[in-house]
Structure 1
Amino acid sequence: MIGVIVVYGIINGIIQSVIQPRVVGNAVALSQTLTFFSVLFWAVVLGPIGAILAIPLTLLVRMLLVDSNPRLAWIRPALGDFADTKQAMAAESAAAAQDKASKRAGGRA
């Protein structure tokens, strides 16, 4: 019986500490670290209810402070929103490839 309790505790700890923050963070575009710290922060601020509502409250704060202010777009990658960053990197990579191809074509002519 004690073995079952220990194994259950270990499995539950791994799921709630590692797997759940990663899955939830990917679903709502928050980094795993931010997800973990938001649970800790809101649990301290509001207690157990804060731990349950941590992700929605963090998304609300992000919407009010970051998403509504275009000047804070630079902080989005730190929060886990990589969509704009991936698009910018793809555009930069395509421009570099085009520049390299044009240099090769210019050198041959």
Structure 2
Amino acid sequence: MSSCNLMKAVSDGKFRLGRILAEGGANVNERNEEKMTVLMAACGIETNECHRHQKLKLIQTLLENGANPQDLDRSGKSCLEYTRSQSIDVRNMVIRYLAKTDQNSSTG
């Protein structure tokens, strides 16, 4: 399976398809030519209230399937910085995941 399908699905706002591809083994740490990861693309997508829950589920699925929230794009931005213009729950999900991974690395 080509992981570029995952980046395309996420970039096109096809949240359910993105989750299916991520759960099916697509490369969740794939990068585009700007070195943006799939997670960054998902975090940066503008959504309306109707699609916010689907976007949150996609981000959660990417994180649970190994997406690295600490990766940086070509300009040095992380996925957390891509959440700045998003709803607070999107930003908080990434922050909680980062805190959990930091805690696990310090205790493990």
Question: Higher Cα Rg: structure 1 or 2?
Answer: 1
Normalising by the residue count of structure 2, what TM-score does the alignment of the two structures yield? 0.25
Quick check: which one's helix share is greater? 1
